[in-house]
A and B are shown apart, each in its own frame.
Chain A
């Protein structure tokens, strides 16, 4: 069998077939199917800066600082306890946290270094 192994941005890949960023990598089962079908690596779906900023803005305004400064309504939402923002959720999703079982490396592209992962 022909050896299709190659190097890509420092990663050793068994072949050059890498499904690019798409909703396919949102789901753990799908990621495993890609791997079973021979994918040498999986590019995680894109995390859009605009989405992160929009969610942060909503979180800040309507969850963390929802008060109007009115004597009767100090805030409008129950405390949600600890929860993770979009960027933080990205890192703990099943595909990533199960990465050790997806035996191929996962390429994680961060176009904007100001997004703290």
Chain B
């Protein structure tokens, strides 16, 4: 056995370490939760770490998983050792190549962090629906249940595929295994070398396509021989289980870790047995050991090699004594007579029964879809149902199914001895406060400095602003198999790093009796500051309460608001899990590692904070007062009054953190949800909000334009309408002459929905002459008083009738910003540069918008439960939105256009057919009247209302038909929205095709120049010189000029905009694009947190991007060409500053100056040359054409 090195790492890192050592070409495309495997590989390659053969693997990011699969297939065909990492929809895009690779008997292992497939909704979380969709590809399927196994199986699979030539899909559970940090015994190089047969590698290379000994593959075969050829590979599959077992046995000899194709755990003479794949097997094992220790005859078969299925292996593993077997599948096949594993087990047992083996009762259940929790209580419920004399064949566990009544009830208080024997700690933090990274560091310290086993799992919410994170940490002397969250009453330590959570969440549900509660709070009288339900829990559970004002300590140490090391120090000080000095030394060592060379100043500040912490940490006396309180549920800031039923019954429980308890009947059957729910959430995350000064304000509307969350609004109303306003409601007479006398304007902050980014104040151009720091809008710290009065003001403001839209000037910023947004309070980052564009589109066209949204940031903040930001106007009209996939969004939107056009044509035909009944004028207007602007749309709405009235009096069958399709006579504004990852990369083929067609769609590309949603990977929009994942040394090629490619067609309206540089240009472009009756493409510059600057300066950076030539503004309008004009208008001046000024202001560029100063200088020079070249190209287009005589074609 080799020396044991243990490392604390997550499953993805463990797998990537192995895959990196074993391969030469790694072709990937980022997708959650597999992304970090590719990122680790890229990082190691950028540091020139060698693989087993002493060379540095080539790691390449492709434009889609389809591209990665193609490159992978090519690399294998070329004789290289190659691999990839993927998940979910990505794996689906691999499928065509998987068939090819398997059909060609190619040695390959791909590593899959298994994730749910999008169906009624998208889920980034774990289940087996993706891998189970690959059953027919011919790939072997090997499942790992933990980080340790995932590492080990990565090697075993590689050894087996080289020997058996059946490619292997190695999978493990997304998030639960891919992201859980645990103590893993590393596989050393000598083991790898012993496992990987050099001769088999040589055989693999020799099978590579070579002109030195040419063969042809991928031939096309006819009915005469295709079938025989397909059957020719059978012996390889027959042999493969034995080959895998052989590799497992060799591995066991080398490492002591023994695996079998099917591993049995439990009572030797078990009567009730669960069969399961994946991390759920760990929880099941923990439960089986607990129950078996109590004398119960229960057992577990862990399926490791699922394909090729070894019936003999399964039967050998299952005790003959088994009377009842429950097969658990983490996937769903609607309409099937059971899920895949269930059917395989049933088939094997039936075949065995046919030759005399007793046939147990076999039932099949679904569990854990989309990372639904799977706990020991649920395992026990499955065993209990196996004890019942008669049970149904099909069941589900983990939910309450009151529709099909398939779910089993379970005991929520059941706990295993193993769970009781380990220390559990729970930490509540905010996404950006460093809680998760501090906890990862803490378990690393504990795992690597003690013999304790440790586990860390991190739960994130789906918002990008004010996101809550909950860290679940376990430590103990024994191996931790608890693949589930810390259960109620089990955490000996609960820490809350953010004071405001106290009023918002039930923080102490998981606290164990006699445990510790640590709170970061500025309160002097901590006990008095706690809500009574929490005080009651503290008393009832006899918790010890500790408090620290971590922000004060951080401030005093010069660290601003970074509290992570302070709270980490508190944890070690209170928990005593390590000797005090050992813990402090380890924390300081970690700080030194992080900051040492980068900034001694920052390191010293952290040291100071650590040293100051203990003096400020205090234990708070728990007062014995017992003011009675009925409910232990904490209050929530949500508006609880007058909620629509749907919101009260579905949305509210989800954002209260009680979504798990919702029964099946509460869910829409087809995934269609009401819009306009974000307004109920009231997240109250801003520390400061904008306050309006009507006396100074010129009512320019710029603050409304830049607000990423529609949290500052403007409305026009009559003075009379506002007489009942609260005294604190601010208004001013309209300054514009566009409105009749007596019109008032109000600018109103949605205090509880604002994220406090400050972009509005930065955008405000008006300064008080007597006090230049005072603007017409100023950030004020949020207080309860300010929040309450603004809440009342907002309620009044929103109840004001909307001003006649046709009386508002839509073409000016002050005018258009008086239009109500139909996109509000999204979960986007504070200062997001994308959302103002979407909000603008909804203000102008929202009541007639159909939105096709590519997967990405905009689909997450646009459509992630619990609440969604698209909303409706007072008449109930608003954007109707859907997300199909990442790759198909242009096509999806085109389909919406075709449907709209077709139904409009049908409606028109019906209208014409009923001309005698409807009257010629109405028919002519309905069919032919223009609808290119607001007035036209409103007129058509009135006509359609008249039409419906008239139809009520008609009883022809055509009238009934027309009633259904009449609404389609109103022109639909189809918007195809997504990010650069979609438009430049994965969806470019579709985008290009839709642009090439003549249909009226508006394509809005929110260009952040990087994959924002999946964490900063390079896209083809990434600029030269920028650092991004997969361009760690700075991107060496220029950004794709998407706009220019689109302009080449000639019939496409194309524009490049940046609202922070020229808002009125953006506004003009949106009008022109929407009114253009063919395809329109708007490429919209969207500053992103990934750019590495404070998004308070969002607009300043946009302006700089334009002024330095990084982002020229222009429009290309085919209507101008048709009129004989130059269709191209360059709307920004020649660069007035060097590009370097822009690059020096964003970390995505400057980080290279720190790490690779010489490369940075060269790339900056190349980037300047490219910017200059592009701008002159545009200038030539703008000027060159102007010199040509007008042809007037």
Contact = CB atoms under 8 A, between A and B. Distances in A.
Interface stretch (B207-215, B425-433, B764-772): B425-433
Contacts of A82: 597-598
A77 interface: yes
A111 B433 CA distance: 33
B130 interface: no
Interface stretch (A7-15, A18-26, A52-60): A52-60
Given A77-B1016, A78-B1028, A69 B598 contact: no
B392 interface: no
B436 interface: yes
B1015 A76 contact: yes
A37 interface: no
A85 B1155 contact: no
B857 to A, nearest CB: 9
Given A58-B1092, A59-B598, A77-B1029, A68 B1147 contact: no
Nearest to A79: B43
Interface residues of A, number: 38
B1028 A77 contact: yes
Contacts of B430: 69
Nearest to B31: A72
B815 to A, nearest CB: 36
Contact of B1012 (A73, A75, A114): A73
B744 interface: no
Contacts of A59: 598-599, 602, 1147, 1154
Interface stretch (B460-468, B677-685, B846-854): B460-468
B429 A63 contact: no
B43 A88 contact: no
Contacts of B1132: none
B612 interface: no
A115 B601 contact: yes
Interface in A48-103: 52, 55-85, 87-89
A79 B1030 CA distance: 11
Nearest to A85: B599
Contact of B1154 (A61, A69, A70, A85): A85
Given A77-B1092, A79-B43, A81-B1155, A72 B562 contact: no
A89 B432 contact: no
B594 interface: yes
Interface string A24-56: 000000000000000000000000000010011
A7 B1089 CA distance: 53
Contacts of A88: 597-600
A75 B1016 contact: yes
B752 to A, nearest CB: 21
Interface residues of B, number: 62
Most chain A CB inside 10 Å of its own CB: which residue of B1010, B1093, B1094, B1154: B1154
A84 to B, nearest CB: 6
A76 B1155 contact: no
B601 A76 contact: no
A38 B35 CA distance: 59
A23 to B, nearest CB: 16
B1014 interface: yes
Contact of A58 (B467, B1013, B1147): B1147
B601 A72 contact: no
B670 to A, nearest CB: 26
B1010 A76 contact: yes
Nearest to B459: A71
Contact of A116 (B124, B600, B1027, B1150): B600
Given A69-B460, A72-B1014, A78-B1032, A83 B597 contact: yes
A72 B857 CA distance: 10
A11 B1094 CA distance: 45
Contacts of B562: 60, 65
B607 to A, nearest CB: 11
B46 interface: yes
Contacts of A77: 1016, 1027-1029, 1090, 1092, 1147-1148, 1151
B825 to A, nearest CB: 18
Contacts of B598: 59, 64, 82-85, 88
B1137 interface: no
Most chain B CB inside 10 Å of its own CB: which residue of A68, A76, A88: A76
Contacts of B236: none
A67 B124 contact: no
A77 to B, nearest CB: 6
Contact of A71 (B124, B433, B1031): B124
Nearest to B1090: A76
Nearest to A52: B601
B595 interface: yes
Interface in B1004-1041: 1010, 1012-1016, 1027-1032
A83 B1031 CA distance: 17
Contact of A76 (B600, B860, B1016): B1016
Contacts of A65: 432, 434, 437, 562, 564
A61 B467 CA distance: 17
Contacts of A79: 43, 1032
A83 B600 contact: no
Contact of B601 (A67, A69, A87): A87
A112 to B, nearest CB: 10
Nearest to A57: B560
A53 to B, nearest CB: 8
Contacts of A62: 1092-1093, 1147, 1151
Interface in B25-50: 32-33, 35-36, 39, 42-43, 46-47
B1074 to A, nearest CB: 31
Contact of A78 (B35, B42, B1014, B1147): B42
B464 to A, nearest CB: 6
B604 interface: yes
A70 B431 contact: yes
Contacts of B469: 69
B43 A71 contact: no
Nearest to A49: B601
Q: Which 9 A/B pairs are nearest by Cβ-Cβ distance? A: A69-B431, A76-B1016, A73-B1015, A62-B1092, A85-B599, A76-B1090, A116-B600, A62-B1147, A78-B1032
Given A69-B432, A74-B1015, A78-B46, 8 more contacts: A56-B599, A59-B598, A65-B437, A77-B1029, A78-B1029, A85-B600, A88-B600, A115-B601
12 contacts: A59-B598, A62-B1092, A68-B829, A69-B433, A69-B436, A75-B1016, A77-B1090, A78-B1028, A80-B1027, A83-B1154, A85-B602, A87-B599
